[in-house]
Amino acid sequence: MWSLNKCKLVFYAVGLIGIIACFVPSAIKLADLPPGEPFSELYVLGPGHQAEDYPFNVSAGDSYPIYLGVGNRMGSSMYYGVDVKFRNASEPLPNGTAPSSLPVLYEYRVFLGDGQNWTGNLTFSFSNVVFDGNISCSVGKLQVNGVEFEIDKTVAWNNVSDGFYYQIVVELWQYDQASDRLLYDGIFVSLWLNMTSNA
């Protein structure tokens, strides 16, 4: 015959097994949640590798370092293109479906495993900058990472924001296996610049 202590022990053991049996399917369901929506990241960092201190007021002859970053959260390895373009305020920007029609000035090609990030430097400077008082500003050349480009872009003085505004535009492209080429991802970042006289 069982003593009262043995009966209590059996009762506790059966109760514990019942609780575990009820909890395990729920725990498995929680642990097996579907993955989040796959995505890619594109970002610009300032000269200190932080999201701050971005160059804004720029002038001819000075160099400005920034950093571009790409993050792969697609669930598999990815091959990316990062295209750098330069525009004045009236030229087309990319959108969610189409890249800007501006020419690519500089490009990076990056292969990333799932969960990996890449950061690359982009140092730019300007030359042949001509001001026509407070009427217009013309930029003749842009140098990106030591490579010089003839750009010849002119902007009118912006009366609302008081400046001559240009923009560095960076687009993200992904390799598409079906077409065997890079396709625009619909993601872009930009950096506004106010051209100033260094006089």
Residues 26 and 75 in one domain: no
Residues 139 and 161 in one domain: yes
CB 40 within 8 A of CB 174: yes
| 185: amino acid identity, one letter | D
Chain segment 34-72, per-residue pLDDT in tens: 567 999 999 999 999 999 999 999 999 999 999 999 999
Residues 171 and 77 in one domain: yes
For the entire predicted model, the pTM comes to 0.81
What is the extent of the structural domain holding 94? Answer: 39-195
The torsion region of residue 153 among left (phi > 0), alpha (psi -120 to 50) and beta comes to beta
Residues 43 and 26 in one domain: no
pLDDT band at residue 6 using 50, 70 and 90 as cut-offs: low
CB 137 within 8 A of CB 152: no
Q: What sign has the CA pseudo-torsion 94, 98, 104, 107?
A: positive
Residues 99 and 116 in one domain: yes
Residues 7 and 79 in one domain: no
Percent of the residues in the chain that have a pLDDT greater than 90, as a whole number = 77
Give me the CATH number covering residue 140: 2.60.40.10
Residues 1 and 22 in one domain: yes
